[in-house]
Amino acid sequence: MTLDNLLGIPPTYLPAEDDVLEAIANGTPVAEIARAHPASSLAWARLAEDAHARGETLPAYAYARVAYHRGLDSLRRAGWKGQGPIPWSHEPNRGVLRALYALRRSAAEIGEEPEITRLTEFLNGADPDVIAHLDRGE
């Protein structure tokens, strides 16, 4: 997939979270993964998704908010300057993108309209196809 990057800003590619992915693959409870890897936006995003699936709106929002901040930290460590592509096609970026999506969904559930708009713009700026991927449950 080619992103239309009219600003000439290079894409951000996060490093893989091999320990987190291995723990997920081994069926380790997500809360244990987040406890062992508190900087992982993927672990926190998974907690948000699980809480959402159980209908726990406020815990889902809280987990998604942590995932979002952990994701921003990861992006900044990777050289991201607040804008530019964060391609879905690069698997390690998906934790951050899932975190943004989870927060957007939770914000919608509590009626936080400005946050929904901001996160939609953020996701579309990161990768114009990411919302469609996540809407399909990828």
pTM for this predicted structure: 0.92
HSE-CB for 19 with a 13 A CA cutoff: 9
Q: Tell me the pLDDT of the chain averaged across its residues.
A: 95
pLDDT in tens, 26-48: 999 999 999 999 999 999 999 99
CB 5 within 8 A of CB 11: yes
Domain ranges of the chain: 28-135
Per-residue pLDDT, averaged over 94-117, amounts to: 97
Q: Which CATH architecture has domain 28-135?
A: Alpha Horseshoe (1.25)
